């Protein structure tokens, strides 16, 4: 008998029609699982902002915080205060898993450490939610997929972009065949001198930590394309260059606060102006030496700032892809070319001039007219995707089948596209996904 159903409810439901109200309440109770023992590893801005803040109220019936873990002992305490939770804090994931005994772990560490956290948690029988990118190289990818298979537990990769209503609309138009069969995709992503530069200030600037923006950032975009096309990437040819940040800069310092070039540097950023940034990073520097306001012209920057690739997919589609990181604009241009027309999207996320609409989608039919597509409005981070994704994970919110949670295979395919691009740019040759991991 289902937990929560009384014997009388069960007999009534089993022996004939019962009043709808009785069935509804019995079914509702039967569907309410016990609260999950929830923990986070990596309590930086994403860990607390996306995966903790507001949870004690919004998911009060679904989750109970049992542990927070970060290698930085000061930051994990700041996080605990910011979230207003009473659970214990840890600096070792093993210790947290042993003592706090969570049954659901969210992984929001620096990218290069996602895999080891995911493998440990799956190995102890937990369901795991990991931020993108799932992994930063092919060896980590294989380890994660093997660990999930062995554990029988579930790994969810949080591709929030899919859940923005504008992206769902694109999926629906493609599913209904609005432009026939897709033959090619043009996709250019623009990061501006604020957000784009920020990657070069932080740990993301090091390939050993982020896998480069091919993996850290582009895996978001590659996942969208894999999902929109319902196809797998097969082969990648890519080029990457550094034209503006790192050694290309006119001068440099270690970080912005003590910099002697403040007055001349357009990238100067005063972290002390944000009380939240100060408490989460500056006040925690003594524990690990991590400088959140690193110089964008530091010589150790080893990732490209300009990336171009061609990706071939299992359904014969080819995509030309580009990301530029020091643009006056933030947003993207995207087009699907098909046998019956073209779907053209322009996303204006930030620019120094006003725009009438943040996103425009046009459906152009061959031998026909251009039609403007209405986009459902949404509030919140990442085009409204963040909240919808969380409600789907924690409240099992109702969504169509094509909006189901991204799994480890999606995590693998998106990362491997980035890894293949990185390898292709390094080695000057096309790289097949099958060379990296057999899926
Ligand atoms: N989906 C999205 O839109 C989105 C947006 C932002 C960040 N992210 C992802 O979230 C993750 C965290 O990003 P962030 O901006 O919060 O970075 P951050 O630097 O603010 O936080 C990372 C935290 O992890 C801790 N850490 C590093 N290695 C650890 C380890 N092995 N064990 C425990 N703690 C460890 C660090 O001390 C730090 O507190 C990244 O993987 C990033 O890609 C995703």
DSSP line for 133-186: PS-SSHHHHHHHHHHHHHH---EEE--GGGGSHHHHHHHHHHHTTTTSSEEEEE
pLDDT value at position 383? Answer: 74
Question: What pLDDT digit, counting tens, does each position of 153-209 carry?
Answer: 999 999 999 999 999 999 999 999 999 999 999 999 999 999 999 999 999 999 999
pLDDT value at position 32? Answer: 52
Question: What pLDDT digit, counting tens, does each position of 331-363 carry?
Answer: 999 999 999 999 999 999 999 999 999 999 999
Question: What pLDDT digit, counting tens, does each position of 242-262 carry?
Answer: 999 999 999 999 999 999 999
Nearest CA to ligand 1 atom 3: 160
Atom of ligand 1 nearest to the CA of 116: 31
Pocket of ligand 1 contains residue 160 by CB under 6 Å? yes
| CB-based contacts of 361-369 (< 8 A; 24+ apart in sequence) | 361/166, 361/169, 361/170, 361/173, 363/173, 363/178, 363/179, 365/179, 365/340, 365/341, 366/340, 366/341, 368/341
Mean pLDDT of 292-307: 98
46, 77, 217, best to mutate for ligand 1 pocket (most atoms within 8 Å of CB): 46
In the structure encoding, which two tokens stand for residue 72, read together?
């930085």
pTM for this model (two decimals): 0.92
With b meaning 16 or more CB within 10 Å and e meaning fewer, what string describes 355-384?
eeeebbbebbeeeeeeeebebeebeeebbb
Neighbours of 302 (CB within 10 A): 13
Question: What pLDDT digit, counting tens, does each position of 34-54 carry?
Answer: 899 999 999 999 999 999 999
DSSP code of 255?
B
pLDDT value at position 85? Answer: 97
pLDDT value at position 2? Answer: 34
Dist. CA 424 → ligand 1 center (Å): 27
In the structure encoding, which two tokens stand for residue 51, read together?
């995966």
In the structure encoding, which two tokens stand for residue 70, read together?
């970060």
Q: Which residue has the tokens 């919110």?
A: 397
Instruction: Identify any residues that bridge with 431 across adjacent strands, giving them in sequence order.
Output: 236
Q: Is the predicted pLDDT of residue 8 greater than 60, yes or no?
A: no
Pocket of ligand 1 contains residue 111 by CB under 6 Å? yes
Pocket of ligand 1 contains residue 113 by CB under 6 Å? yes
Q: Is the predicted pLDDT of residue 27 greater than 60, yes or no?
A: no
pLDDT value at position 249? Answer: 96
Q: Is the predicted pLDDT of residue 57 greater than 80, yes or no?
A: yes
Neighbours of 51 (CB within 10 A): 22
**DSSP per-residue string spanning 71-109:** SSHHHHHHHHHHHT----EES-HHHHHHHH--SEEEE-S
**pLDDT cut 90: percent of the chain above it:** 89
Phi, psi of 321 (to 5 degrees): -125, 145
Mean pLDDT of 308-327: 98
Residue 224 CA: distances (Å) to CA of 54, 69, 168, 362: 27, 30, 10, 18
Dist. CA 138 → ligand 1 center (Å): 20
Distance (Å, rounded) from C-alpha 266 to C-alpha 375? 36
pLDDT value at position 24? Answer: 44
pLDDT value at position 379? Answer: 76
pLDDT value at position 438? Answer: 87
């Amino acid at each position: 008998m289902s937990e929560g159903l009384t014997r009388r409810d069960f007999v009534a439901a089993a022996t004939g029609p019962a009043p709808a109200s009785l069935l509804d309440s019995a079914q509702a109770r039967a569907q309410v699982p016990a609260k999950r023992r929830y923990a986070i590893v990596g309590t930086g801005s994403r860990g607390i902002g996306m995966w903790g803040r507001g949870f004690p109220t919004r998911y009060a019936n679904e989750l109970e915080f049992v542990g927070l873990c970060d290698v930085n002992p000061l930051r994990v305490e700041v996080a605990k205060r910011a979230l207003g939770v009473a659970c214990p804090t840890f600096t070792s994931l093993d210790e947290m898993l042993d003592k706090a005994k969570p049954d659901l772990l969210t992984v929001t560490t620096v990218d290069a450490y996602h895999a080891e956290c995911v493998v440990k948690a799956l190995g102890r029988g937990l369901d795991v939610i990991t931020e993108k990118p799932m992994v930063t190289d092919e060896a980590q990818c294989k380890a994660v997929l093997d660990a999930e298979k062995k554990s029988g537990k579930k790994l969810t990769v949080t591709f929030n972009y899919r859940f923005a209503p504008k992206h769902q609309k694109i999926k629906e138009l493609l599913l209904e065949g609005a432009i026939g069969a897709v033959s090619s995709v043009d996709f250019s992503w623009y990061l501006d001198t604020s957000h784009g530069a920020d990657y070069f200030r932080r740990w993301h600037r090091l390939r050993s930590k982020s896998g480069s923006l091919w993996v850290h950032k582009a895996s978001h975009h590659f996942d969208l394309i894999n999902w929109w096309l319902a196809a797998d990437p097969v082969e990648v040819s890519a080029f990457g260059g550094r034209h503006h940040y790192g050694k290309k800069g006119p001068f440099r310092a270690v970080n912005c606060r003590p910099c002697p070039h403040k007055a001349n540097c357009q990238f100067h950023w005063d972290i002390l102006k944000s009380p939240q940034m100060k408490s989460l990073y500056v006040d925690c520097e003594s524990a690990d030496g991590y400088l959140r306001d690193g110089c964008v012209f530091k010589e150790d920057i080893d990732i490209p700032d300009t990336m171009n690739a061609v990706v071939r997919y299992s359904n014969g589609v080819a995509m030309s892809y580009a990301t530029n990181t020091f643009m006056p604009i933030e947003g993207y241009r995207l087009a699907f070319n098909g046998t019956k027309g073209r779907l053209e999207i322009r996303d204006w996320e930030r620019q120094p001039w006003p725009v009438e609409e943040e996103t425009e989608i046009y459906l152009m039919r061959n031998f026909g007219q251009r039609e403007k597509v209405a986009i459902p409005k949404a509030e919140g981070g990442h085009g409204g995707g963040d909240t919808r994704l969380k409600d789907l994970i924690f409240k099992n919110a109702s969504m169509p089948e094509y909006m189901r949670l991204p799994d480890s295979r999606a995590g693998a395919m998106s990362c491997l596209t980035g890894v293949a691009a990185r390898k292709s740019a390094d080695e000057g040759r096309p790289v097949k996904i099958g060379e990296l991991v057999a899926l």
